[in-house]
Amino acid sequence: MTAHHSTQTTTNAGGESERSAEDVLLIADADGVRTLTLNRPKAYNSLTVELKERLFTALRDAAEDDEVRAVVLTGAGKAFCAGQDLKEHVGMLRSGDSAPLRTVSEHYNPIVTTIVDMPKPVIAAVNGSAAGAGAAFAYASDLRIAGASASFVMAFAGVGLGPDSGASWTLQRLIGQGRAIELMMLARKVDSAEALRLGLVGEVVPDEELAARAQAVAAQLAAGPTRAYAKVKSTVAAAASSSLAEALAEEDAAQTELGRTADHREAVEAFVEKRRPKFTGK
């Protein structure tokens, strides 16, 4: 596994580079999978300005890197992400700084847009609590795998706010408008078992198996037809607000484009030759 660095680094006994413990975001590559780990475990990976800026940059870089064919988003320690760091938020408000009022447009919106528009699969490996914007990041991902101790809470109303980070758009698409409003107004915690029943997550595994399971699913996707996955994302998103005729036209355009790809040709050849296809993402 290869780690990327922007602060002080060390080299372990195996010759692999590791980020310093001070780094708020850990980035590692293995088998076409880029894993982004929110790394403020003592603060439940709550989102400071630094972490939000780092996460956006890392997501953008992953989107643009052709060597990256799947992304895993997870958290260090006992939480996935507690949402906004309220200590930093309150400190800025008390000082008269207007930055907290701009964080939705400057940070959360670009992060969620980049996750949703990522031209490759994004898997949220939800360990522990996912609250507020942290939960919204998971909802924006393509697949959600939860550890048994995972929980989700739309905590915005509890601090006098409405939803942000795309939660008003993503959550109702996962569980329906009525349930989404209920969870947002009541700010009720949803445990992993209920999350599975509601359709918030696709799979629940024992906590100790979460990282390995997420990596296995991501590696499977990273070895697949990446451009086809991108079209799955874009056509489904477009169809959510399209007529049938518009959805059919979108599918037609996508199939025409994908029909010219090397991966489609490889899949057809492999079928005829009775072998497994070897996709390159091209």
The domains of the chain, with CATH numbers, are: 2-222 (3.90.226.10), 226-272 (1.10.12)
Q: How far is CA 265 from the centre of its chain?
A: 30
- The answer to pTM > 0.85 is yes
Per-residue pLDDT of the chain (282 residues; tens, 9 = 90+): 666 644 433 333 333 334 444 699 999 999 999 999 999 999 999 999 999 999 999 999 999 999 999 999 999 999 999 999 877 657 666 667 666 678 888 999 999 999 999 999 999 999 999 999 999 999 999 999 999 999 999 999 988 999 999 999 999 999 999 999 999 999 999 999 999 999 999 999 999 999 999 999 999 999 999 999 999 999 999 999 999 999 999 999 999 999 999 999 999 999 999 999 999 999
d(CA 264, CA 269): 9
Q: What angle do CA 33, 109, 175 make, to 5 degrees?
A: 75
Q: What are phi and psi of 23, to 5 degrees?
A: -75, 130
* pLDDT value, residue 57: 98
Closest by Cα among 280, 230, 275 to 257: 230
Q: Are the C-beta atoms of residues 154 and 200 closer than 8 Å to each other?
A: no
d(CA 33, CA 267): 22
* pLDDT value, residue 17: 36
* pLDDT value, residue 16: 36
How far are the Cα atoms of 20, 72, 211 from residue 125, in angstroms, in the given order?
Answer: 23, 7, 7
* pLDDT value, residue 95: 67
Q: How far apart are the first and last CA of the chain?
A: 23
